[in-house]
Amino acid sequence: MRGIFTPVTNLRRQVFKKVAELAFSGEFDQIDELPYRIIKGEVASYRESVFKERAIVAERIRLACGLNLRSASEHAPISRDFNKALTTERVFELPLVDVIPFACNACDTVHYEVSNNCQGCLAHPCTSVCPVKAVSLVDGRSTIDPEKCLKCGRCASVCPYSAIIKRERPCAAACGVGAIESDDLGRARIDHEKCVSCGQCLVSCPFAAIADKSQIMQLILALKGEGKVFAEIAPAFVGQFGPLATPSKVKAALLEIGFDGVYEVAQGADDVSVSEAEEFLEKVPEELPFLATSCCPAWSVFAKRTLGEKLAGCVSCSLTPMVATARIIKAEHPDSRVCFIGPCAAKKLEAFRRTVRSDVNYVITYEELMGIFAAKEIDFSKDCEEPIGDATETGRNYAVSGGVAEAVVSCIKTKHPEREISIERAEGLANCKKMLTLAKAGKRNGYLLEGMACEGGCVGGAGTLQPLAKAAASVRKFASEASRKNKLVDEEQPE
């Protein structure tokens, strides 16, 4: 639903904006009033009562402050433990992504039903292909017995009128790792042992029942403090904040809200491309049967789980662009704090790791940043330009599916133009699983595998604002304007 401004979109952005306004104003005693500022009046607009609407908004406010959900079975104000959020340190605890139980619509899990399009045709192939005879004719129309149905979908595939419809819980359909279950009341529940925090469920729920924790409050308090805070912004940012928000104006806006400097994460991506190219040349196929890229944290975690202990080492040990860029920043500004701004919920989980915590202090998404821009009334129509950086074309193209593999191969070809590299890439964790299954079976030996948890790559991440195709085109255009192809060779020099 990204790129479509729905009531759910409005709700999320209102929460981020109000939390940002609260953090900038310092009027923290007003935290309990925020639901009333977002949901006004006495008449419900979306739910059966205005009280439920405010209760759901209250939980989203707590999550946006980095706090845990409250139980609906006990009384507690929004401000319970709110003092824990008033810090410049990381406060959120796992799980990162969770379901607000009483906001869930308890949607049905997978089932097939016959619509009014059924014509009661003479052939009725639906009854012929069902392996358990769950489909029959009643009063001239096809009927499915849910007690017998195996949910195989054969009936739907052969219906000449497309009259048989597959119904599926949207969050579960979006989850590529099968982490969405049901609780005792039929509401969605996340199995956090399976979840890799890609965030696709939270942007697929049409009831705004799933959300992740944010560091908006802690980041803004750091921006207001005395220490220096630098932003590193991921390549998918191009075009995310509207047609007037050119890359240089986005940098100017980040400086305006209080950052001391802005770095392109594409700069770190350039270093990662060189590192993974060297790793591939050194280890494949002598030490490793194949090499899988490592920049997407949700994919990386999923790949290691799927491949098992024996092949987990086939996932590149190179730093991710987020960490590589953060280390560049902290080498130049040792006492600073670093905030990664990107499209990805899983990056929050990556920054939570013990080995990364000292490098990346805050992670926010483009949607959360939009809330901060709204709170500060940033005007992108103003004539203010700031040169964004000098990353390469392939580094900036990390944001789109295929871009990572393209960058690594470009670096390999620079040093070894005669080397032929076999590539396979997959987007979406369900497709990634198919690719990994083939690799595990020994059918992708010698390959460079690129996996992306989100459809389209980073431009399809849970924290993005624009339609996928439009976002990808914006990134590609900006990347094409770079002065260099990759870090090892100038674009103007013969390759």
**126 and 48, same structural domain?**
no
pLDDT per position as a tens digit, 20-66: 999 999 999 999 999 999 999 999 998 999 999 999 999 999 999 99
**233 and 184, same structural domain?**
no
| Among 4, 3, 54, residue whose Cα is nearest residue 33 | 54
**189 and 147, same structural domain?**
no
Distances (CA, A) of 201 to 89, 190, 209, 242, 267: 28, 10, 10, 25, 30
**330 and 387, same structural domain?**
yes
**468 and 375, same structural domain?**
yes
**Residue 239, domain member (yes or no):** yes
| Eight-class DSSP state of 27 | -
**143 and 82, same structural domain?**
no
| Number of domains composing the chain | 3
- Which CATH number do you get for residue 131? 3.30.70.20
**Residue 236, domain member (yes or no):** yes
pLDDT per position as a tens digit, 298-316: 999 999 999 999 999 999 9
140: left (phi over 0), alpha (psi -120 to 50) or beta: left
At 3 the pLDDT is 74
**312 and 186, same structural domain?**
no
One-character DSSP codes across 153-186 = -HHHHH-TT--EEEE--HHHHH-TT--EEE-TTS
Length of the chain: 495
**158 and 297, same structural domain?**
no
- Give the helix ranges, DSSP H, for 110-229: 125-129, 154-158, 170-174, 200-204, 216-224
**40 and 93, same structural domain?**
yes
> How many Å apart are CA 88 and CA 17, to the nearest integer?
19
**Residue 448, domain member (yes or no):** yes
pLDDT per position as a tens digit, 168-225: 999 999 999 999 999 999 999 999 999 999 999 999 999 999 999 999 999 999 999 9
| Among 249, 257, 258, residue whose Cα is nearest residue 376 | 257
**186 and 335, same structural domain?**
no
**Residue 210, domain member (yes or no):** yes
Pair of tokens at residue 379: 């005007």
**72 and 39, same structural domain?**
yes
Of the chain, the end-to-end C-alpha distance in Å amounts to 42
pLDDT per position as a tens digit, 443-477: 999 999 999 999 999 999 999 999 999 999 999 99
pTM: 0.93
- Which CATH number do you get for residue 320? 3.40.950.10
Domain span at residue 155? 111-167
At 386 the pLDDT is 75
**400 and 456, same structural domain?**
yes
389: pLDDT strictly greater than 90: no
- Coil vs helix vs strand at 99: strand
Cα radius of gyration rounded to whole Å, the chain = 24
251: left (phi over 0), alpha (psi -120 to 50) or beta: alpha
**Residue 140, domain member (yes or no):** yes
**Residue 495, domain member (yes or no):** no
**Residue 2, domain member (yes or no):** no
**Residue 222, domain member (yes or no):** no
Mean of per-residue pLDDT scores for the chain: 95
